């Protein structure tokens, strides 16, 4: 396990990660960051853990990660965003993480809607955003990032779906360097969020997305919807051309068919 001093040494950010909470083991870094955010913890604060006993995934699932081999952290942001534009935070987080992974592996990362990152067609990074609002807009956004860094074995059910940076890059990845690269990209891209400049972020996301023009199944609450994936809607939904017309989905699990 790293010490706080080690993780901060050489860090190039001015705000993100400067306030750092470190745990050998925790229930969930997102849960912890959310509690801190609700107690007015400052923007940029990061919760880092070596292991999670109740790691949270999207759609109520859990996030499993071997102790000591991966990256698990959550960061608090406080952008002035309306509820309508809050979904765009997903793309900010995905693009930041993708860039950091590319720096470390020299491989192109694929973005899968809404916020999975893939290497060689398999998931290497999951992102969970937990946003809070008042009537005036967003109060905070907790960005939780889990990366399979040096893990080499995945449980049976994940073997065809999951990979790690080490498996793809064929070399051990320095977790501290990756963490610092992630914080640097989050801080850099957050500059665009603050300026309301999501165009750059969405362009970066779109050019890493390979599903447009293909038929996709989206499993969501209330059933499965099938259609040709056309583009992102301005608020971050997935626009599908279905047999009965155009539909926009905002949550769900995507499988690309053709
Ligand atoms: C997903 O793909 O379903 C999202 C997974 C997000 C996992 C990360 S690990 C760090 C942070 N803390 C959590 O409990 N979840 C996120």
Q: Is 253 helix (H, G, I), strand (E, B) or coil?
A: strand
110/118 Cα distance (integer angstroms): 5
Ligand 1, residue 54: give the atom nearest the CA. Answer: 14
212 CA → ligand 1 middle, Å:
25
Ligand 1, residue 55: give the atom nearest the CA. Answer: 14
pLDDT tens per residue, range 62-98: 999 999 999 999 999 999 999 999 999 999 999 999 9
pLDDT tens per residue, range 14-51: 999 999 999 999 999 999 999 999 999 999 999 999 99
- Cα atoms in the Cβ-side hemisphere of radius 13 Å centred on 120: 14
CA distances from 9 to 3, 16, 72, 96, 126 (A): 10, 14, 19, 21, 26
pLDDT tens per residue, range 157-204: 999 999 999 999 999 999 999 999 999 999 999 999 999 999 999 999
Q: Looking at the chain, which runs of residues are DSSP E strands? A: 20-23, 46-49, 71-77, 110-112, 116-119, 122-134, 137-147, 215-220, 223-232, 238-242, 245-249, 253-256
Give the CA angle between residues 93, 228, 239 to the nearest 5°.
45
Q: How far apart are the first and last CA of the chain?
A: 43
Indicate the pLDDT class of residue 222, thresholds 50, 70 and 90. confident
Find all residues with CB under 8 Å of 62, minimum gap 6, and list them: 54, 55, 56
Can you give the pLDDT at residue 79? 97
pTM over 0.75: yes
62/57 Cα distance (integer angstroms): 5
229 CA → ligand 1 middle, Å:
25
Q: Catalogue all structural domains in the chain, each as residue range(s) with its CATH number.
A: 4-207 (3.30.930.10), 215-256 (2.30.30.100)
Ligand 1, residue 58: give the atom nearest the CA. Answer: 3
245-249, strands of its sheet edge to edge:
245-249, 238-242, 223-232, 215-220, 253-256
Q: Concatenated DSSP letters for 112-175?
A: ETTTEEEETTEEEEEEEEEEEEETTEEEEEEEEEEE--S-----GGGTTTB--HHHHHTS---H
Q: Output DSSP code: residue 179.
A: H
Can you give the pLDDT at residue 216? 96
Judge if the beta carbon of residue 52 lies within 6 A of ligand 1: yes
167/190 Cα distance (integer angstroms): 30
């Amino acid at each position: 396990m790293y010490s706080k001093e080690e993780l901060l040494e050489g860090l190039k950010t001015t705000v993100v990660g400067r306030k750092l909470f470190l745990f050998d083991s925790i229930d969930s870094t997102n849960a912890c960051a959310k509690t801190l955010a609700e107690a007015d913890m400052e923007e940029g604060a990061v919760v880092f853990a070596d292991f999670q006993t109740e790691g949270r995934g999207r759609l109520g699932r859990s996030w499993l990660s071997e102790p000591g081999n991966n990256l698990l952290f959550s960061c608090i942001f406080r952008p002035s965003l309306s509820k309508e534009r809050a979904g765009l935070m997903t793309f900010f987080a995905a693009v930041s993480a993708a860039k950091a992974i590319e720096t470390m592996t020299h491989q192109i990362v694929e973005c899968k809607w809404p916020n999975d990152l893939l290497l060689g067609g398999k998931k290497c990074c999951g992102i969970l955003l937990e946003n809070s609002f008042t009537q005036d807009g967003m109060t905070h956004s907790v960005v939780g990032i889990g990366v399979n860094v040096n893990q080499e074995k995945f449980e049976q059910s994940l073997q065809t779906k999951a990979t790690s940076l080490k498996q793809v890059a064929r070399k051990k990845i320095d977790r501290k360097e990756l963490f610092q690269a992630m914080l640097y990209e989050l801080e850099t891209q957050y500059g665009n969020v603050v300026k309301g400049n999501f165009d750059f972020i969405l362009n970066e996301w779109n050019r890493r997305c390979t599903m447009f023009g293909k038929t996709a199944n989206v499993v969501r609450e209330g059933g499965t919807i099938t259609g040709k994936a056309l583009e992102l809607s301005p608020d971050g939904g997935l626009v599908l051309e279905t047999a009965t017309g155009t539909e926009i989905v905002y949550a769900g699990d995507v499988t690309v068919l053709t």
